[in-house]
Every structure is written in structure tokens, then in C-alpha cells.
Amino acid sequence: MKAVGVVVEYNPFHNGHHYHIKQSKKKTDADVVVAVMSGHFLQRGEPALVDKWHRARMALLSGVDIVIELPYAFATSKAEQFAKGAIQLLTAMKCETFAFGSEDGNIEPFNNTYSLLHDYRTEYEELIKYFVTKGNSYPKSLFEAYEQLKQKRPQLYIDLSQPNNILGYHYIEAVHKINSSIKPVTIQRIQAGFHDDISLDSTIASATGIRKALFEDGELKRINDYVPNTSFEQLIQWEKSHRQFVHWEAFWPLLRYTISRYLPKDLTQFADVSEGIEFALVKYAKVSNSFTEFMNHIKSKRYTWTRLQRMLTHIFTGVTKEQLHKFDSPTYIRLLGMTGIGQQYLGEKKKEFDLPLISRVAQTKDELLQIDLRTTEIYAQGIQLFSNKKIDGDFQTPPIRI
């Protein structure tokens, strides 16, 4: 059986994701779709809208055959580490191809961009430093350095100001770094951009737009047209059980308490906390009555919203610099769910996998897995704060079977 891999968050699974799954199978002639999915905390440094089991079920009911979890140490890291961990897992699962969505939709510019940045790596890094010294943010400096470097070798290149193109580049880079035989293909995003609001003229919207509409309007029916019926049913179940969906505002009392427990110097042990930001964190946690108010106090040109959210995620979960950067590669494959076809693939291929397949977490004391278990428990405590009902933990939840 041939498998195509996808790297996802499904926050939530929407019609655009459904299109991506169908096109990925069609373009690669794959029998099975393997999704490596972030757990309860995501790459932009925020808690997931609903827990990983509801999101895995959405995927399995809409065309994905196997869902595995991207460990926290990779799921909440910068794009380079996020992509590397995901590609390592898909390679370990013996996927022949992987398919990612992009604004470009053509694989050649991605390969050209990788070759350019690889061949001129030293000069690229010097240009980045130069633009940082000019007062630009780090992401802006990356972009400016890239734009200048493209003049060295006129070819078709990707637009690295676009978020999915950035991730796509890092997927290609990861394939080369780990010397993987997995073949990349890209599917062009249609109708909705990464940050676009929902539109009445389309049934495809970005996950960002869907979440924004959901939180602003407070009405689940507002997003009905933009997600498959199976996803909508899962969201209804969650709302009935927990009354609201997860975002930082819901967790703010716990996050505020967590920050307030530490002196500024103690906060520097946590991943991504650096350059004196710890003083502002303690100062403004005391006076901010909401997460948004707190973020508006501490955001600056140096500290982007996403960078700050990742930092706060690590403080909230108690993950230190040493813990986050200790792992260069995943050490296991954590199975969250499968369809009948997915189970057949596992039966045929699991003896060939490069990493152990874990379906029951009690079977292992893996250090990387222990971080996931702890962060699941912290996510569950946050949910209990506003709903008086915890989600089931990793020990109580077996892999989903569709």
C-alpha cells in the first residue's frame, strides 16, 4: 500500500482541509493518508480549539486514514524544528510522498529556494544580521535578506512572506537535512488566504477566519458552511460538554497565576524567554485583566505575537529551555486514531517502521512522551477551570477506530 503524509493542526478540520486530503491522494495515487497532527498546543503558541481526540476524529471521518501526534517539543517550536520533526515521523512511517498546502502550488520554486539558501548560507546569515541591526524584527530581516539574495540567481522562487510557503520551504529543507527518500508535492490553497476572514461568497475559509468568527459571534452555526458535517457534529459535542471553545482568554486566570508565581530571573529557565522580557511578563501579568490586554502591553517590534505566545505556552506548561531543545528527533510514533484502511496499512508496514509505534502510553517511560503527558494534563486543567469538566487524559484514551 502507498501512503501520502500530511502535516496538520486541524484547528478545526474544515472544507479546505478536506479538499487538500482529496487532492493529495489524487496527485500521489496513494492508498492511505497519514496525518501527523499537533497535540494540545500549536505551532503559533496557542492552545487548540478542542482536544486532540476530537480533532483526530474529525480527520478520520473526512478522508484521513491514520492520525499520529507530533510531540509537543516539535509542535510548539519554530518552523524549522516543527517541519523537521514532522518529516522525520512521516519518513519513519514509510510514507512514499508528503503533500503540503502552499500559496504557490508549484514544487519547482520550493526546490529553487532551497538550493539558493543552501548555496549562499553564509551570506544569507550575514544579511539577516545586517537587517536586524537596522531595527527590523527577525522575521522581517529574514524576508529582506532573502529578497536581496534572490538577485544572485534569477529563477522562479517562492514568496517567503506567505505563511504556508514558509512552512513548505522548511519541509523541503528537512527532507534534505535528514536525507529522506520521501517525495514532496504541493497543493495550491484555494479561495481563502491564511489570515482571511470568512466570506459569504465561499464555503472554504481559513482556520484562522473560522476561529475568529466563532469567538466574535459566539454562535457555532456561524461556521456551519465552512466545515464538513462530521466536523460540525464534533464541535457540537464539544460545546455541549464544555460550554465553550479553548483559546488563551479562557486560560488567562491560570496563565496569569503561573507567571505570578515566579520572580523575573526564574522565568528565564523556560523555553524562548530571553533578552529581558521576563521583567515585562511579571509586571504586566499583575495589572492585566485579560490575555489580550496583557499581550498588547508586552508586544513590540522585537517580540512578535507568535513569539510571545510560544514563550507563554512554555511557561504555562513548565517546559524549560533544556527540555525543549534536548530532542533533535522524535523517539516514537504516537497513534491517535485510524480507519479500517489505516489499520490494514499498519498491519502491513509497522515491522518496517524506523520508530516504535505506541498505542498505549502506559507501555513506555519515554522522556519525550512524558512532556506530552504533562502538557495534556495542564490543558485538561485549563478546560476544567471554565467547564467544571476535565477531558480524558492520555492514559484513559485508546486510539480512535473508525
**What are the binding residues for ATP?**
7-20, 101, 164, 189-190
- Burial bucket for residue 181 (CB in 10 Å: 0-12, 13-18, 19+): exposed
SS (H, E, C) 88-114: HHHHHCCCCEEEEEECCCCHHHHHHHH
Binding-site annotation, residues: 7-20, 101, 164, 189-190
Rounded CA-CA distance 240/299 in Å is 35
In this structure, are residues 311 and 270 in contact, taking their beta carbons and an 8 Å threshold?
yes
Length of the chain: 402
Residue 352's CB is within 10 A of a number of other CB atoms, namely 9
Rounded CA-CA distance 177/169 in Å is 12
Q: What's the one-letter identity of residue 384?
A: Q
Dihedrals phi, psi of 340, to nearest 5 degrees: -60, -40
Q: What's the one-letter identity of residue 315?
A: I
Place of cell 504556508: 164
Report the run of H or E that residue 291 belongs to, with start and end: helix 291-298
Distances (CA, A) of 340 to 28, 145, 200, 294, 344: 20, 48, 36, 47, 6
Residue 401's CB is within 10 A of a number of other CB atoms, namely 11
Report the run of H or E that residue 400 belongs to, with start and end: strand 400-401
Q: How far apart are the first and last CA of the chain?
A: 19
Q: Residue 150 has what DSSP assignment? A: G
Q: What's the one-letter identity of residue 178?
A: I
In this structure, are residues 321 and 76 in contact, taking their beta carbons and an 8 Å threshold?
no
Rounded CA-CA distance 396/402 in Å is 18
All residues at 6 or more sequence positions from 83 whose CB lies less than 8 Å from its CB, including other chains: 7, 167, 170, 171, 173, 174
